[in-house]
Amino acid sequence: IGKREILRRRAVGIAALVFAFVSGFTLLMSDGISQSARWAIFFPLFVSAIGFIQARNRFCLAYGLAGTFNFGKIGDMERVFDSESKKSDRRKALVILVQAALAAAAITVLFTLLP
């Protein structure tokens, strides 16, 4: 992905992280909310991790799964025709998903253990 796409992924990562922090703080400060409700921060943490990991790797997991790429303007996608490259891109996209899920799960578990 190009520079604008990287900035876009980073912005999503930041926005989702802010949402997770605000949600987490609200859950911690609210009376009468069950401890199991804290698991709700997993999704915004997952989205945040995906954004940051994509930006760091300069790789879009959606493009990788779809067999496309973009180094130009946002939305100007091109097809990957080489089957070996497609396979490699799909593998990398799945690795990003797993990394993001593990990071979000680890933070969520720690958050649920807070008093």
Residue 107 pLDDT > 80: yes
What SS3 state is found at 14? helix
Separation between Cα atoms, residue 55 and residue 35, nearest integer Å: 33
Share of the chain above pLDDT 90, in %: 58
DSSP notation for 73-113 = STT--EE---HHHHHHHHHHHHHHHHHHHHHHHHHHHHHHH
User: Which strand (E) or helix (H) includes residue 69?
Assistant: strand 68-69
What mean pLDDT value characterizes the chain?
88
* Average pLDDT estimate for 81-91: 81
pLDDT of residue 87: 83
Assess contact for 45 and 20: CB atoms under 8 A: yes
Residue 40 pLDDT > 80: yes
- Domain map (residue ranges) of the chain: 3-113
pLDDT tens-digit series, residues 48-64: 999 999 999 999 887 78
pLDDT tens-digit series, residues 3-35: 888 999 999 999 999 999 999 999 999 888 888
Separation between Cα atoms, residue 112 and residue 88, nearest integer Å: 36
pLDDT of residue 83: 77
pLDDT of residue 70: 66
